[in-house]
Chain A
């Protein structure tokens, strides 16, 4: 149970950090990310 929880938190952390990179890429491409 504990391992599952840690795995979920680790996954969220990775998603969060990947989003910072995809967010910058989206801005640079001028893609609409606010709708």
Chain B
């Protein structure tokens, strides 16, 4: 079942056209990987989905409800269903780990403090950081901050998670931990869009791979199709035919 649809989205920053007709869809329970060279607007597309950026043209639908034209107040409801995991984690630096993860629960639920503590303890176990509950973000490594950001993104049980380069800048061990967490989220039924340059991680998590090029979706296929693509541009992203074709 299709839960998110993006139709012919255009977006420009001044003279620079970032998207010139992006279209894609996301099905329930599915995680798609969004690849592309730096500056092709992958993160901008994620930000547009939850209204942090206004699109210039096109439509975005969430369960057949058009959401790109909602105002800021109306978007708050959508953002509880479509959560965003920031590239730099964007943790609140004056709040500790517990307060960061619990922030959406305090804001949007009527849970008691005890229930919130219980829920946060559970999610801390999932991200393998039960010891870090009262640490400040400045006391955490980059990888730990990203894991806390992921925990905060799913604490309200959203339907879709937008992952903005969750493994960027991480060592192999932390990358592996983050990928295991993402697969656990997928197992629990969350859908996701995974923006990354980390092809092996994308292959481990995603059901489909999409590639953005020149403001449009250039490639859209399963991991299998991605691996066996003979397209020279697709091959540069690490399909099994990588190196057999050179880009003109």
Q: Do A and B bind each other?
A: no
B: residues with CB less than 8 A from A are: none
A: residues with CB less than 8 A from B are: none
